[in-house]
Structure 1
Amino acid sequence: MYLADAAWPEAGEQLDDESLAIVPVGSTEQHGPHLPLATDHIIAQGLAREAASRADVVCTPTVKIGVSPHHQQFPGTLSVDPPAFRDYMESLVESLAYQGLNRVVFVNAHGGNVDHLREVGRRVREDRTAYAIEWMWDESIPDLVDDLFDHNGPHGGPKETAMVMHLAERLVHEDRLAEARDGGVLDFDPHTTGRQFGARTFYDAIDNSDNGVFGDQTDATPEKGEELFEAATEQLVRLCEWLDDQPFESLMPKDRVDVDNRDR
């Protein structure tokens, strides 16, 4: 169920039967000259809504602005300070828990949100409010992504381009795919790009790429996007089903180790 579409009596009936909520989280930031600023939240929302329908769980409205200071040089990018983002997301989880939804999956499509969402998950788990975990779509299907594209790119590359082609093709500037490839960085190596003697020397996307993107965007097609979407949705549904089956207490922090009673 998409929560925002329901009137409160219908919402109440559904919430009485549920303990899990999916929260799509993205960003509003540059994704090169060919993709919309909405790329991340389009992907997060598409996956979350579809998985919630298939798994018969609750999906909340999408959080559309995340932590994106590393893209700030490109016009249109919006960002919130990390502490504000963490506090907001923690408060949202607390509100969901009040409604009886004490298991939360953050369907995240923006790398800049990852560490902050994991910190929120730690906070709400430590005070036993809820169990919240971060899920990143491409990390759930790494082999497929590698098989489909020779030059993936961590940002604005063919995998995101293909996904948006599948979900919102009208927003993709397909006449700029070669421009995106040629004006960015074709080969991104996380171990060498932007590094000196083992140190990461860059802070912003523009430090490595003049147009802010990486990979070969011309390798993207709507058909590849649909294949990625279906595979990632399947993984998300399985995660929700697994999490929904777990006893709440088993998800909470373990007790402090009793030194006197430890196995010898």
Structure 2
Amino acid sequence: MPTSSLINPLWNEKKVKNYLPHMTVPEVDDFLTKSDLVIIPIGALEQHSSHLPIGTDFINGVEQCKLIAQERDVLVAPVLMAGQSPYHMAFSGSITLSADTIIQVHMETVVSLIKHGFKRFVFMNSHGGNRAITTFLVDQINQKTAGVAVDFGVAIHPYLKSDTYKKPEVLDRHAGTGETSDSLYLMPDLVQLDKATATKLTLPKHLEQMLPEVINEEPTAKLLFLSEALKGEETGKKTSTLEMTKTGVWGELNPKEATVERGAKNINNTVQAAVKFIDKWNDLIKE
């Protein structure tokens, strides 16, 4: 071990088990004697107001995958930081990629990993704007490669415990109390809660009228609301982020209300649901 004066003063990363960027070739070979399962987070680089970093979706996705990989033998293989985020482009630092690019990168990733002996793939979408892309990607892998792919959210849903957290009475989504709570647990050093501010939403009138039912999780209202809200300025829908919220928070609760306790409970629920799904999948393919 070199003396501290010779080490990069910014280096503070520790080796994480089953995390591909940290692994050597022999370690990957050894992993393949135990498992052929890969989890790939698909995140985003986009504004998260003044209190969360632009890399929130990517970092939180990777960190959740790492936690799952400490419980079961699954390879964590992130390959792309940015996602589809056209509606955030009025905010400095946001990056958006086309659906074609995201799909192509991940298809080539899967083909590479299949060549080495991996067969099963779980795609964790950690950014709402990638939902349709993830669904299509999973189908394309299943249709066009020797691999078997599943969508993380669909896979773990039957194993999640019911959320006992009281539902908000106003819209509370992007960069709101839920995402901020998760971030306080997953990446505490990157959350600047003192800089969080509440916002006032400006929605097209017909979407504003839907809000009470959307907040109450009425299925049709929620489907129609999300089909139209948070879309690029070029669509003319008047629902790009800046057109709805000047702070970048898509919700009317103050993110300062977030708590690490809520985040810990939510992430633990997700990790344990993932473990149960993996155990079931492993059991179903036993010879």
Q: Sort the TM-score into its range (normalised by shorter chain).
A: 0.7 to 0.9
Which residue pairs with 2:120 in the alignment?
A: 103
8 Å Cα contact 1:185-1:209 kept in structure 2 = yes
- 1:194: how far off? 9.4
Cα distance in structure 2, aligned partners of 1:9 and 1:228: 35
- 1:152: how far off? 5.9
Report the number of matched residues: 243
Bigger mean CA deviation after superposition, 149-158 or 221-230: 149-158
Cα distance in structure 1, aligned partners of 2:201 and 2:194: 16
8 Å Cα contact 2:199-2:246 kept in structure 1 = no
Which residue pairs with 2:33 in the alignment?
A: 16
- 1:173: how far off? 1.9
| SS of corresponding position for 1:22 | strand
- 1:151: how far off? 4.5
Question: In the TM superposition, what are the counterparts of 1:237-256 in structure 2 within 5 Å?
Answer: 237-247=275-285
- 1:247: how far off? 3.7
**Residue 59, structure 1, aligned to residue 96, structure 2:** no
- 1:119: how far off? 0.8
Cα distance in structure 2, aligned partners of 1:242 and 1:185: 45
- Of 147, 154, 175 in structure 2, the residue corresponding to residue 156 of structure 1 is 175
Please, which runs of 5 or more residues in structure 2 have no aligned partner? 1-17, 215-220, 230-236
| SS of corresponding position for 1:87 | helix
What root-mean-square deviation, in Å, do the aligned CA atoms of Structure 1 and Structure 2 show?
A: 2.9
Residues 174 and 98 of structure 1: CA distance in aligned 2, closer, same or farther (over 3 Å): same
Which residue pairs with 1:165 in the alignment?
A: 184
Cα distance in structure 2, aligned partners of 1:126 and 1:245: 24
Amino acid at match of 1:156: A
Cα distance in structure 2, aligned partners of 1:52 and 1:34: 28
**Residue 114, structure 1, aligned to residue 131, structure 2:** yes
8 Å Cα contact 1:166-1:225 kept in structure 2 = yes
| SS of corresponding position for 2:39 | strand
- Of 247, 253, 258 in structure 2, the residue corresponding to residue 220 of structure 1 is 258
Cα distance in structure 1, aligned partners of 2:139 and 2:223: 31
Amino acid at match of 2:180: T
| SS of corresponding position for 1:182 | coil
8 Å Cα contact 2:202-2:243 kept in structure 1 = no
Among all aligned residue pairs of Structure 1 and Structure 2, give the percentage whose two residues are the same amino acid.
Answer: 24
8 Å Cα contact 2:42-2:58 kept in structure 1 = yes
Cα distance in structure 1, aligned partners of 2:71 and 2:113: 21
Residues 147 and 56 of structure 1: CA distance in aligned 2, closer, same or farther (over 3 Å): farther
Which residue pairs with 2:268 in the alignment?
A: 230
| SS of corresponding position for 1:105 | strand
- Of 111, 117, 134 in structure 1, the residue corresponding to residue 151 of structure 2 is 134
**Residue 209, structure 1, aligned to residue 226, structure 2:** no
Cα distance in structure 1, aligned partners of 2:62 and 2:131: 16
Residues 130 and 174 of structure 1: CA distance in aligned 2, closer, same or farther (over 3 Å): same
8 Å Cα contact 1:117-1:133 kept in structure 2 = no
Amino acid at match of 1:161: T
Amino acid at match of 1:206: L
**Residue 85, structure 1, aligned to residue 123, structure 2:** no
| SS of corresponding position for 1:104 | strand
8 Å Cα contact 2:34-2:73 kept in structure 1 = no
Which residue pairs with 2:193 in the alignment?
A: 174
Residues 172 and 152 of structure 1: CA distance in aligned 2, closer, same or farther (over 3 Å): farther
Amino acid at match of 2:172: G
Cα distance in structure 2, aligned partners of 1:73 and 1:194: 24
8 Å Cα contact 1:41-1:62 kept in structure 2 = no
- 1:129: how far off? 2.1
| SS of corresponding position for 1:34 | coil
- 1:106: how far off? 1.2
